[in-house]
Amino acid sequence: MSDPLATLLNRCSVPSRQLEAPAPDADERQRLFAAAIRVPDHGKLEPWRLIVLEGDAKLEFGQRLARRAVERDPDLPPAKQEKENLRYTFAPLVVAVIARIEAGRIPEQEQLLSAGCVAYNLLLGAQALGYGAQWLTGWAAYDDAVADILGLGEGECVVGFVHIGTPKLDVPMRDRPALDDIVSDWTP
């Protein structure tokens, strides 16, 4: 019998530069997205949405972000400009996870955390399907011009860009904290 926690215990991020085609096919993607949105959602607000970036659209998005990086910093060194030019060329599928925050009875933090859970479920789901993934933010997640490029509306923000594809190589596991260092009992 396999370990029911194996996916969680073996979860790791695969650097986007180490991802290549193929990405999940149409059926896998539908299942992945359906699994990703099964998250805690206080008030049933569905405070998230997904924007799929692939093919020519993904490359155009990456080029616009590279131009925006130079607008933000005209003195951006050539090596960093090249990094920006290549950022969206590796993984065949990038999913922008968008939080849709509504003012009201549900705390905004809970809505944002729900959207974060969607991004994390994309990571877990991709790995469970045999793919690799990395959740990235960087400056683009917090830039108003990038929000405009993505067509974000009032109360929307980027939670992250989840890059998904097939790993080119095995990623070594990194050390994790000892549970004794981070788990404690509360005592009154």
How does DSSP classify residue 89? S
State the pLDDT at residue 164. 98
- With residues binned 3-state (H G I as helix, E B as strand, rest as coil), the percentages for the chain, rounded to 5, are 45, 20, 40
The reply, when asked if residue 166 is annotated as ligand binding, is no
| Inside any domain, residue 107 | yes
136 is annotated as contributing to ligand binding = yes
Q: How confident is the model at residue 108 (pLDDT cuts 50, 70, 90)?
A: very high
pTM, to two decimals: 0.95
The CA distance from 163 to 137, in Å, is 11
| The pLDDT of residue 1 is above 80 | no
In-domain check, residue 29: yes
**31 known member of a binding site:** no
Percent of the chain with pLDDT over 90: 96
pLDDT at 149 over 70: yes
Chain center to CA of 38: 16
Q: Is 104 inside any structural domain?
A: yes
Q: Would residue 91 count as lying in a domain? A: yes
Q: CA-to-CA distance for 151 and 83, rounded, in angstroms?
A: 24
Instruction: Supply 119's token pair.
Output: 């991004």
* Residue 123 vs residues 118, 130, 147: alpha-carbon distances, Å: 9, 11, 23
Answer yes or no: is 38 a known binding residue: yes
Residue 35 lies in a domain: yes
CATH number at residue 141: 3.40.109.10
- The stretch 122-148 carries a mean pLDDT of 97
Residue 136 lies in a domain: yes
Q: Is 13 annotated as a binding residue?
A: yes
How many structural domains comprise the chain? 1
Give the chain's length.
188
pLDDT tens digits along 33-73 = 999 999 999 999 999 999 999 999 999 999 999 999 999 99
Torsion of CA 51, 56, 59, 60, to 10 degrees: -80
Structural domain for 119, as ranges: 12-158
Domain assignment present for 40? yes
Burial of 97 (0-12, 13-18, 19+ CB in 10 A): buried
Any binding-site annotation on 12? yes
Is 135 annotated for ligand binding?
Answer: yes
pLDDT (mean) for 112-119: 98
- The sign of the dihedral angle between the CA atoms of 111, 131, 32, 65 is positive
Whether the CB-CB separation of 135 and 65 falls below 8 Å is answered with no
The verdict on whether residue 163 carries a ligand-binding annotation is: no
